[in-house]
A = this chain, B = another copy of it.
């Protein structure tokens, strides 16, 4: 058992039993090291891991906002993990697209038209209707739009996963624009498809919204010359 793992286990236990709750402060690094009979380095390594996982947040100085305190940001871990594993080329665009389809079709079918996420999606929809947008700006809004729609379903985990995928989505969507025969044409199609998705959710058409968003995602990648996300081994 490595020393920092002991610290991780201790903190995990404190969290599970409720002795440590959201917003509370951890003991100081020096105190924690003495309490668990490990070095301060080991404590710091554990805290670094928790920080990377989005479980705690560290700040120097004194006062109520200083020190290491418990947060709850499930997205940081997913986002950096996905980014890193895409750096190792272990993750392909196909995988991202398919995961989007799986998550977003479910989310579209369960989206609540009265949620904050839906309102944000509507605002982004309006912003994307501006005529003087460049491709990069449009795709930035597009990625945020899809994250917002997904969060309208009210599922913390699915929202976190979609949020974590945002950067990857944006990057690859941008890279694929060069493969498109006519960006303006595609952009206008995307706009009308977005409106269709929002309309379907607003009228409570779960199946319609689900089908529309699937076609919306798959058609873009098909149009960009990837032959559709389902046929990675296509001729």
- With A95-B156, A103-B102 as known contacts, state yes or no: A12 contacts B84, CB within 8 Å: yes
Q: How far is the CA of A46 from the CA of B55 in the complex (A)?
A: 17
Residue of B nearest to A94 (CB): B155
Q: Are A158 and B78 in contact (CB under 8 A)?
A: no
Q: Are B88 and A98 in contact (CB under 8 A)?
A: no
Residues of chain B contacted by A16 (CB below 8 angstroms): 87
Main secondary structure of the interface of A (DSSP, over half): helix
A110 on the interface (CB 8 Å rule)? yes
Q: How many A residues touch the partner, as a band? A: 35 or more
Stretch at the interface among A69-77, A117-125, A133-141: A69-77
Q: Are A81 and B53 in contact (CB under 8 A)?
A: yes
Residues of chain B contacted by A70 (CB below 8 angstroms): 88
CB distance from A29 to the nearest CB of B (A): 12
Q: Are B54 and A87 in contact (CB under 8 A)?
A: no
Residue of B nearest to A159 (CB): B95
Most buried by B among A21, A52, A82: A52
Interfacial residues, chain A to chain B (CB-CB below 8 A) = 4, 12, 15-16, 21-22, 41, 44-45, 48-50, 52-55, 70, 72, 74, 77-78, 80-85, 87-88, 90-92, 94-96, 98-99, 101-103, 105-107, 110, 153, 155-158, 161, 230
Can you add 17 more A-B contacts, CB < 8 Å, to A44-B45, A102-B105? A22-B90, A41-B44, A49-B49, A52-B52, A53-B77, A53-B84, A72-B85, A74-B90, A74-B91, A81-B81, A82-B157, A94-B155, A95-B157, A98-B106, A99-B157, A103-B103, A105-B106
